Amino acid sequence: MAAAGALAIVLVALIASTVADSSPDAVALQALRSGLQDPDGALKNWDPDLVDPCTWFHITCDDNLRVTRIDLGSSNLSGPLSPELAKLDQLQYMEFWGNNIQGTIPEEFGDLKNLISLDLYNNSISGRIPASLGNLSNLKFLRLDHNRLTGPIPRELAGLFQIVVMDLSNNDLSGTIPTTRVFQNIPPGCFANNPRLRGPGQQQGGGTDC
Ligand SMILES: *[C@@H]1O[C@H](CO)[C@@H](O)[C@H](O)[C@H]1NC(C)=O
Ligand SMILES: *[C@@H]1O[C@H](CO)[C@@H](O)[C@H](O)[C@H]1NC(C)=O
Ligand SMILES: *[C@@H]1O[C@H](CO)[C@@H](O)[C@H](O)[C@H]1NC(C)=O
């Protein structure tokens, strides 16, 4: 009895320590997972008992076991993006294109200072583009096209000096297209098919290439 009791205590302690030691990155990814429907099992090996998430499918880490990439394009996922993802402060690539992601883009994503690519195109994302994304000073690819985004294009995005592609086409954005700073170099097609959006190239049918 005593031996069994001791064993039980050791087991409980082991389990408790494993859970307690989950890295903040693992905790943030589990918060994402808990809100998503995943009929194809893309997240099925996301074992919450592992200390770090570096062996999970679709996750890439650096040498310090910090998450640098989430590659979940075309994975048949539905549901919202958790604001907890903003705690992945080494994240460079967030790829969720071609799913059925719903809800809004969390304002907290403006904290992802190392982000190079935010690819959320081809989903069902609604609400406004957060002005906080203007703080992503390393961002090169901002592809939010083919969603249900509404409201204005935040002027703050004009300061994304590393931007290579900013595709906001095929949404329901409104207001006028900013023309300052980086917006001077973005082709009109990157804003196409937003019927309520006004600005250069929109009335004349400025093409749909982005
Ligand atoms: C996505 O999941 C749904 C629900 O299980 C399934 O009916 C559909 O075939 C899946 N689509 C793809 C492209 O795998
Ligand atoms: C995005 O959706 C469009 C139209 O719904 C489709 O033609 C295109 O292949 C999709 N692209 C990706 C990468 O999923
Ligand atoms: C951008 O970052 C600064 C400094 O962290 C913060 O004060 C500001 O509120 C952020 N801007 C937006 C639009 O979130």
- CB count, 10 Å around CB of 136? 24
What is the reported pLDDT for 11?
A: 46
Nearest CA to 74 out of 56, 97, 58 is that of: 97
The reply to whether ligand 3 has any atom less than 6 angstroms from the CB of 111 is no
Q: Return the ∠ at Cα 130 (arms to 134 and 108), rounded to 5°.
A: 90
Q: What is the mean pLDDT of the chain?
A: 91
The reply to whether ligand 3 has any atom less than 6 angstroms from the CB of 156 is yes
Bridge partner residues of 142 (DSSP): 118, 166
| Confidence at 201, pLDDT banded by 50, 70, 90 | low
**To which residue do tokens 């905790």 refer?**
27
CB contact at 8 A, 143 and 97: yes
Does 127 score more than 80 pLDDT? yes
What is the reported pLDDT for 200?
A: 73
The reply to whether ligand 2 has any atom less than 6 angstroms from the CB of 146 is yes
Average pLDDT of 87-112?
Answer: 98
- CB count, 10 Å around CB of 55? 11
Ligand lying closest to the C-alpha of residue 100: 1
Percent of the chain whose predicted confidence (pLDDT) is above 90 = 85
The reply to whether ligand 3 has any atom less than 6 angstroms from the CB of 108 is no
The reply to whether ligand 3 has any atom less than 6 angstroms from the CB of 135 is yes
* Torsional sign, CA 167, 169, 174, 180: positive
- CB count, 10 Å around CB of 101? 21
Q: Is 7 helix (H, G, I), strand (E, B) or coil?
A: helix
Average pLDDT of 106-124?
Answer: 98
- Ligand 1, atom 10: closest residue by C-alpha: 76
**To which residue do tokens 């200072």 refer?**
113
Beta-strand (E) ranges in 28-99? 59-61, 67-71, 78-79, 93-95
Q: Are strands 165-167 and 141-143 parallel, antiparallel or unpaired?
A: parallel
Ligand lying closest to the C-alpha of residue 38: 1
Residue 197 sits at φ, ψ, to 5 deg, of -90, 135
Give the ligand 1 atom nearest the CA of 76. 1
φ/ψ bin of 128: left (φ > 0), alpha (ψ from -120 to 50), beta (otherwise): beta
What is the reported pLDDT for 206?
A: 62
Sketch out the chain's domains with CATH numbers. Answer: 23-198 (3.80.10.10)
